Amino acid sequence: LSNPHGCAAGYRIYRAESGIKTGALDTPANNAWMRVGESSASPFRDEFRDCEPATPLLHEHGCPPDDLHHLHITESGVMVGLSGNELWYTLPGDPMTWSRNRRRMIRAEWGKPLALSVHKDDLYVLTDHLPVHYRLGLSDAGPQLQRNLIPKHLPMASLTSVSSGYQGVVYASDSGLVLLSGGQAQVISSPWFNRDQWRRLDPASIVGAVHDEAYVMASSVDAFLFEFGDGVFADNGNTNLIGLELGGRIVGADAMYSGDALYWAKDGVVYRWDWEAMPVGNHKDPEVQPEAAGECCPFFYRPAIEDKNGSATYTAAEVHMRPGSEVTFRYYDGDCREPVLVDEEVRTDCEPFRLTDCRRTEDSRIEITGCGMVDSVTLGTSLQALRLR
């Protein structure tokens, strides 16, 4: 760089590329001017006749703090992590641009930072009080974080329950299972568990992971699969809860999702569970053993149906299952821990059948045992209505 005025003060250095790659996004050419840093003026002599000089060491480049944890990368290629009560982040596509100029303080009144999770370009700091949401955007000046404080007391109860997928981040709070999507928080377990019932599940022991469009979890008390349905709200009409018989094997383990299957490791064994490819109930077999050919493990299927007018009486049902399945359908009324059996039917086909008249309450449930693959269960107010569907 030569200065026609003969003074040596310094230079601001920018980089400009058309279509600079930042994670999953291509920055448009008119937004590709990004300030890299400042360098003092000094003579440069190309002794080796290289095509271009080496990249200067600039103040924007730096090492991460020693206590950095929960390291993630966003969809835009920005690395983020927690250090004490601070959120640190880098320039897109450059993992060694940690700087004290790129950090955000988590205030004490929001809670103590316990974990950080990322879904696309949404960052969620989970604390012992409020969830804190940051929306990441890129500009000419670099990454910009827009804070959105979620004003709900939803402390994180279990570190091993945090999982990203579907439309956001899922974790276990002491009030229920929470889904963070955008700047909103929903307790998606509320149609089935009030706060006291949820706490009896021992949420501090929960381990889980998002699997396709569902969340698989297990605690020291029970195990469930939550199907998210069509939306991110607990009362969207087609959110479902399916009980699982996991034998407590994944409690205290670490879970992950990869290649359309859920894996968890405990006591020297890696277990595999695939909802689509494996028969229902076969998910208890460890990966290191051949697939068991014994009986299927029982499970129960409980739809999240809400009576808007409070007068619906279900008199018929229909079990949608794969050919060759044989199951026993049971309809219960009462508290989920002490159910009262209302009707029991052995089903080998998908034809609608009559139920003993019983108005569904908030605590009723459906249980299906046997061998096969059940896709869904439909309840109706009349047998004729189900046949005409």
The 3-class SS string of the chain reads CCCCCCCCCCEEEEECCCCCEECCEECCHHHCCEEEEEECCCCCCCCCCCCCCCCCCCCCCECCCCCCEEEEECCCCCEEEEECCEEEECCCCCCCECCCCCEEECCHHHCCEEEEEEECCEEEEEECCCCEEEEEEEECCEEEEEEEECCCCCCECCHHHCEEECCEEEEEECCCEEEEECCEEEECCCCCCCHHHHHCCCHHHCEEEEECCEEEEECCCCEEEEECCCCCCCCCCCCEEEEECCCCCCCCCEEEEECCEEEEEECCEEEEECCCCCCCCHHHCECCCCCCCCCCCCEEEEECCCCCCCCCCEEEEEEEECCCCEEEEEEEECCCCCCEEEEEEEECCCCCEEEEEECCCCCCEEEEEEECCEEEEEEECCHHHHHCC
Q: Is residue 251 part of a domain?
A: yes
| Overall number of domains in the chain | 2
Q: Is residue 163 part of a domain?
A: yes
Q: Is the pLDDT higher at 352 or at 48? A: 352
- Mean pLDDT in residue range 84-110: 91
Q: Is residue 104 part of a domain?
A: yes
Structure confidence at residue 181 (pLDDT): 92
Domain identity same for 262 and 348 = no
| Host domain of residue 362 | 305-387
Domain identity same for 333 and 261 = no
pLDDT exceeds 80 at position 154 = yes
Domain identity same for 79 and 150 = yes
pLDDT exceeds 50 at position 109 = yes
Q: Is residue 18 part of a domain?
A: no
Domain identity same for 144 and 208 = yes
Domain identity same for 229 and 325 = no
Q: Is residue 62 part of a domain?
A: no
Summarised one tens digit per residue, pLDDT across range 367-382 is: 787 777 777 788 777 7
Structure confidence at residue 171 (pLDDT): 96
- Mean pLDDT in residue range 15-38: 47
End-of-domain residue from the set 209, 243, 267 = 267
Domain identity same for 204 and 341 = no
Domain identity same for 260 and 312 = no
Domain identity same for 199 and 248 = yes
